[in-house]
Structure 1
Amino acid sequence: MDSIQNRIIAFAKLGAFLGQFSIDKIKKIDNIEHNEIFFDGFLHQIKLAQEKNSWFTKDNILFSLNSLHKALTKNNLNKFTESFDSGIKSSKKVAIVMAGNIPLVGFHDFLSVLISGHSVLVKQSSSDKHLLPFLAKYLEYVEPLFKGKITFTEEKLTDFDAVIATGSDNTARYFEYYFKNKPNIIRKSRNSVAVITGKETEEDFVKLSDDVFQYFGLGCRSVSKLYVPKGYDFDTFFTGMYAKKDIIENAKYANNYDYNKAVYLMSLFDLLENGFLMIKEDESYASPIATIFYEYYDNETDLKIKLHQDKDKIQCIVAKNFIENEIAFGQTQHPELTDYADGVNTLEFLSTI
């Protein structure tokens, strides 16, 4: 019988399977179900994902898999679904249009649809199309009830009851028009910010370097903007960032760094840089690769008001005892299953369609 517990067990088995692929060591574990069919094949998919998209380095893919391994435990999945009304009236087909900025970025939506008992119709980004179909096959093996409930398509989406779509602000306008007659969640571009008070230690900034550089800064949870007090001295900040100096050895990152630096210098912008990261005073939230924007603030209350007013553009606020719902330094890339993108409760949405 199909029940939410069956689905939870299946995803927990997938989590255990993913635990074999860690940054420290890829190691086949004896008691993982269907390893003989899937282990070597998944190694091949990881290789293909790297070849297809040079932002998807082996370390970034393994970091993403490791995050899913930690999230997909029976305990976490039970907590994730505890408020969900498991008696959905009827199973619907939910289309998901996925982004491709970081490996498996659409997995949370995929999990939410399936664990809530619906069928999923997935349109992947061309830059991230190798990993998820393989993991979907694994799920079908450990829980045959998923067979027939998972479809991937490269065609125009047709025959679905609701949609979850993620894209840039421009594509979101198109999505809003195109999907206006269906229940939908449309996700736009978001960025993350860090609030610096001047009391931070070098160790805080070493942790912040994870929030800045993981996935080369391409995720919506990546910090792309700093708020700093008037007259702030960036020396300690740069000392902490130095922990990630080796990032410049990635050719694609280095090319972006050189290009953006040249553009800024030709435009006579004031820059501070350290050989692998530039910081530039700018009011925007979305900064180019290898760049962080910063803005000065005069008083904390005004900044809190501004951050509240711009909450639709901000995914995470990294800070230390500054604002409610802040995220600690070094923690933006370790979301819980209940940390919904855009703060929209996907499971709640899925229980109402």
Structure 2
Amino acid sequence: MAEQPETIKAFVKLGEFLGDYCQFAKGNLEFNEDQIKWLHKLDDLVARAASHNGWFTQGNILYAFEQWSTALKTDNLKKWLDQYDIQNSNPMTVAIIMAGNIPLVGFHDFLSVLVTGNKALVKLSSNDKILLPFFTEYLTTLEPLLLGYIKFSDEILTDYDAVIATGSNNTARYFEYYFGKKPNIIRKNRNSVAIIHGDETPETLSLLGEDIFRYYGLGCRSVSKIMVPRGYDFDNFYKAVYSFKDIIDENKYANNYDYNKAVYLMSEFKFLDNGFLLLKEDAGYASPIASLFYQYYDSKEYLDETLKRDADKIQCIVSSRPRRDHIAFGDSQKPALWDYADGVDTVEFLLKISNNN
């Protein structure tokens, strides 16, 4: 990107504003009158979002804001977009059907559509419908030309050229039926997995707790399963994540913990329990809230074969020995702009169909 477009500048400013809000929420009030007006408005909406959806605590919303504040820095946007030849003289309308499992989960699609010069027709999830319209108001104040490029709709979507839809395996079948004739990206359920080697230090292993408990495990990048060597001592794991014990004080999480524990007991499943996290041996990946599946491996070859076979079920892999396709413990909820959901390059998809349009 030889010269930064006004849209990019607006998103950079939004990132700076999100960083300011995080400071404001922590008690820093050293802002000018115009900033304070916007900050108070967002503060009210954060409270509304938390009231509307009990999983959207202020802590989790702030965490999402902090990640986007980092991602939207000029250097990150430049590194992301410099690999593409973005020339769009014929904007498409792209319908974006957003999930609502974690705060702003659809923001990357929204960003991708706009920075490629296309129009976003957004259908928000009922679970996350408060924050993005405010961001749109802020962006269009900075760059009024964006007013004609963003539209929200609660109705059946019509008059669009392509679709990006995110949902469950069940809703994906609905999406494929209704949107299959248009160019599309349709995302289904995915979960993330951690590899434990058995030689991690307590400090290293404790970082894994962030990947498991952030957003209550509701994100596709949340670790819902651990692969452990045969004979692994789970006391080491439980001790390492004990600092996250206060999560059981959250009512919605505690209700799920109690329910899933009762189900396991009545079904006579074997499981481990430390009072805030249930561990169950299971070949699956989508563990219930407050539960974590585990699976033993006997060799590196078996581990690699299993993860390769199940690649279409896995969003990301975290490990204490990160490599090109693995993420370090504690970093699963810190994706870079070029870490695409399901490994599908959204920008490349948009540019390709734009060129063919």
For these two proteins, the number of residue pairs brought into alignment is 350
| Equivalent runs, 1:1-353 vs 2, <5 Å | 5-22=5-22, 25-28=26-29, 30=31, 34-321=34-321, 324-353=324-353
1:89–1:5 CA distance, 2 compared to 1 (3 A): closer
Partners of 2:275 and 2:211 in 1: how far apart? 19
Q: Percent identity?
A: 55
Partners of 1:160 and 1:249 in 2: how far apart? 45
Q: Deviations over 1:72-111 (max 9, x none)?
A: 1111111111122221241010000000000000000000
* Equivalent position SS for 1:148: helix
Partners of 2:312 and 2:247 in 1: how far apart? 30
Report if the CA contact (8 A) 1:304-1:323 is conserved: no
* Equivalent position SS for 1:19: helix
Q: Deviations over 1:173-202 (max 9, x none)?
A: 111121111110001111000111111111
The normalised TM-score by structure 2 is: 0.95
Letter in 1 for 2:102: I
Letter in 2 for 1:16: E
Q: Deviations over 1:107-155 (max 9, x none)?
A: 0000000111101000010000000000011000011110111101111
Partners of 2:30 and 2:286 in 1: how far apart? 41
* Equivalent position SS for 1:22: helix
Offset at residue 321 of structure 1 (A): 2.9
Offset at residue 26 of structure 1 (A): 4.8
Partners of 1:292 and 1:113 in 2: how far apart? 35
Letter in 2 for 1:225: K
Report if the CA contact (8 A) 1:20-1:26 is conserved: no
Partners of 2:96 and 2:204 in 1: how far apart? 37
Report if the CA contact (8 A) 1:6-1:143 is conserved: yes
Q: Deviations over 1:230-256 (max 9, x none)?
A: 111111100011010010110111111
* Equivalent position SS for 2:245: helix
User: Please, which moves more after superposition, 129-138 or 304-313?
Assistant: 304-313
Partners of 1:322 and 1:59 in 2: how far apart? 27
Report if the CA contact (8 A) 1:163-1:184 is conserved: yes
Letter in 1 for 2:53: N
Offset at residue 215 of structure 1 (A): 0.3
1:165–1:272 CA distance, 2 compared to 1 (3 A): same
Pairwise CA RMSD of aligned residues?
1.5
Report if the CA contact (8 A) 1:4-1:117 is conserved: no
Offset at residue 31 of structure 1 (A): 6.2
Report if the CA contact (8 A) 1:101-1:218 is conserved: yes
* Equivalent position SS for 1:165: strand
Report if the CA contact (8 A) 2:21-2:39 is conserved: no
Offset at residue 37 of structure 1 (A): 4.4
Partners of 2:208 and 2:244 in 1: how far apart? 10
1:31–1:147 CA distance, 2 compared to 1 (3 A): same
Offset at residue 51 of structure 1 (A): 0.6
* Equivalent position SS for 1:55: coil
Report if the CA contact (8 A) 2:322-2:328 is conserved: no
1:68–1:29 CA distance, 2 compared to 1 (3 A): farther
Offset at residue 260 of structure 1 (A): 0.6
Partners of 1:170 and 1:4 in 2: how far apart? 41
User: Please, which moves more after superposition, 343-352 or 305-314?
Assistant: 305-314
